[in-house]
Amino acid sequence: MLVLVAPGQGAQTPGFLTPWLELPGAADRVAAWSDAIGLDLAHYGTQADADEIRDTAVAQPLLVAAGLLSAAALGDISPGAVAGHSVGEFTAAVLAGVLDETAALALVRKRGLAMAEAAAITETGMSALLGGDAATTVPHLEKLGLTAANVNGAGQIVAAGTREQLAALAEDKPEGVRRVVPLKVAGAFHTHHMAPAVDRLAEAAKDLEPADPKVAYVSNKDGLTAATGDDVVARLVGQVANPVRWDLCMDTFRELGATALLEVCPGGTLTGIAKRALPGVKTLPLKTPDDLDAARELIAEHA
C-alpha cells in the first residue's frame, strides 16, 4: 500500500521549483495559481533567496504549489492514504479530493499571512532536537517554557517558543539529545503563539465547500483518519495552534499496511524520518523531475 505525503515549512530551498517549471504546462499552471492568490510563485520558487522564501506568507503557498505540481507530474495515481506535515496537510487535502487546487492555495495564502502576523507579535522560532526520548525531552521543554510543537518520531522533536527560550535550550539540552538545530521558519508554529491565526483561518474557511476524502486522509492532530470534508477543514484550521503528531501519523501508516512512502516536492525530510521509523517500508522523495521515473515504478509496484 502506497502512502503519499507532503512536507512542511522549512523544506524549501532557493530555486527548488526551477526544474519543475520546465515540464509541459507547468509554467502556465503556476502562473494561473499566482494570479489567483496574488503571489508570484514562479519568482519565489526560482529567483528568491533563502531569506525571502523563509517568510511564512511566501513559504506556505510556495510549498503547497510545489507539492501539487510534482504530484500532477506523476499522472493519475491511487494511493492508499495521504498525509502532510503542517502546511503539507493542505497539499494532502487536494490529493485526497477534499479541496480543489485554487481553493487550497487561496486558503494557504491567508493562513501564511495570518501566521506571519501572529509571529510578529513576539520574536519566536523553532529548533529540531536530534536524539533523545520523548518521555525525557517533553518535560524538559516544558520546564524551559517551550512547546513540543512537532513530535516527528524516530528520535526527532521540534521545540517552539521565544528566542530566549530557544537560546536556553541550546545551552541546556535534554538528556540524550545530540544536537539542537534552528529551523528556517519565522515563528513558533503549532503553539499558543499562533492562536490569533486560528480565528482568521476559521473565518476564511467558512465559504469552502469541501468534498469527503476519496482516500484515507491521516491528520496531524492525532494520527487518525478524517471521514468527512468538514472534519478535514476543521482539523486544518485548528492545527495552526496544535502540535504536529507525525509520529502518530506514521503509526497509522503502519496499521494501514503501508509498504511504500512517496514524498512530493520538495521531498527529503519525511522520507528521512520514515527510513528510521518505518523499517521495511520503501521510501522515495521527489526532489527534481529526474525522480519521476523511479516514482512511477514505485507507484506501479505498491499503489
Quote the CA–CA distance of 1 and 113 in Å, as a whole number.
36
Residues 103-116: b if buried by 16+ CB within 10 A, e if exposed: bbbbbbbbbbbbbb
Cα dist from 71 to 26, 92, 93, 266, 296, whole Å: 12, 10, 13, 11, 11
Active site residue 85: no
* 243 cis-preceded (ω within 30 degrees of 0): no
How would you classify the pairing of strands 177-182 and 216-217? Answer: unpaired
Q: Is 82 helix (H, G, I), strand (E, B) or coil?
A: strand
Exposed, middle or buried: residue 259 (CB in 10 Å: 0-12, 13-18, 19+)? middle
- Active-site option among 34, 70, 85, 190: 190
Active site residue 34: no
Q: Are 146 and 161 in contact (CB under 8 A)?
A: yes
- Active-site option among 70, 86, 127, 219: 86
- Which residues are identified as catalytic? 86, 190
